[in-house]
Amino acid sequence: MPSTFSLPASRTEVVLEEIRRGILARELLPGQQLVEAELAARLGVSKTPVREALKVLSNTGLVTFSPYKGASVCVVDAELARSVYDVRMVLEPEALRRAVRASDHASFDEAAQILKEASGGDPDQTTLSLLNRRFHRALYAGCGNPLMVSMLDDLRDRAALITVVGWDAKPSWRKEWNEHKAVLAAARKGDEDGAAELLRAHIAAFLDHVLEAIGEE
């Protein structure tokens, strides 16, 4: 007998992706209250998948809940940016180092394909932010430690939101994508230390960019 939960789960996932894209596209602004009934009407669904999607996005850091205001879009401040990027600077370079050591060619091929997608046409900032998420995951996915992958996955939405804040203030994605190319080139050559250091410097530099954007260094 087919599962009676498959359709609601699918609908929730679609709603989740729509709300995520709306936040990263700045259609839903930081601090903006997210009213279930309004989102449901906008997306043409009942309030149930919206409620479930907001719970998931709360866990990934795009949405915050207040006992007085309910759900709202997360506001990026210096404390959040430093917290997320401090963890990334510790875990991501080590995960990449291990992926290089394991010769994870499939993931690196995926990363190369993502770079091609980013360079084709004239992608908008939201698309670039989502491609950025995918690229970084492709670098660490083959590290061989599922817990490390899971911990980094949990940061992806927060990192994407922080990226949008930085690019809103000063579009610099071409610089970041050139750095991506250098990281991937070192990884594909088997230079685990070089790839890890380039990635660490890349993450640190963008943190500085974001802190400047929000007026704190």
Of residues 206 and 11, the one with the higher pLDDT is: 206
pLDDT (tens digit, 9 = 90+) per residue, 128-149? 888 999 999 999 999 999 999 9
- 106 and 64: one domain? no
Q: Is residue 217 pLDDT above 70, yes or no?
A: no
In a domain, 1, yes or no: no
- 39 and 15: one domain? yes
Mean pLDDT (the chain) is 90
- 47 and 68: one domain? yes
Q: What is the CATH number of the domain that holds 208?
A: 1.20.120.530
Helix (H, G, I), strand (E, B) or coil at 34: coil
In this structure, what token pair is assigned to residue 76?
């990026």
pLDDT (tens digit, 9 = 90+) per residue, 52-93? 999 999 999 999 998 888 999 999 999 999 999 999 999 999
What pLDDT does 193 receive?
97
- 51 and 115: one domain? no
- Overall average pLDDT of the 163-186 stretch: 90
- 186 and 95: one domain? yes
pLDDT (tens digit, 9 = 90+) per residue, 100-122? 999 988 999 999 999 998 887 67
pLDDT (tens digit, 9 = 90+) per residue, 6-30? 444 578 899 999 999 999 888 999 9
CA 149 to CA 137: how far, in whole Å?
Answer: 8
Domain count, the chain: 2
Which residue, 73, 98, 124, sits at the end of a domain?
A: 73
- 58 and 109: one domain? no
- 27 and 105: one domain? no
What pLDDT does 172 receive?
83
What pLDDT does 9 receive?
54
- 99 and 196: one domain? yes
In this structure, what token pair is assigned to residue 146?
């599922």
CA 138 to CA 96: how far, in whole Å?
Answer: 9
Which residue, 40, 73, 106, sits at the end of a domain?
A: 73
Q: What percent of the chain has pLDDT over 90?
A: 73
Question: Strand pairing of 70-73 and 63-66?
Answer: antiparallel
Domain of residue 31 covers: 6-73
Helix (H, G, I), strand (E, B) or coil at 103: coil
pLDDT (tens digit, 9 = 90+) per residue, 34-51? 999 999 999 999 999 999
Strand partners, 64: 72
Q: Return the DSSP state at 35.
A: -
Which residue, 24, 42, 73, sits at the end of a domain?
A: 73
What pLDDT does 8 receive?
45
- 88 and 162: one domain? yes
Q: Is residue 201 pLDDT above 60, yes or no?
A: yes
- 54 and 120: one domain? no
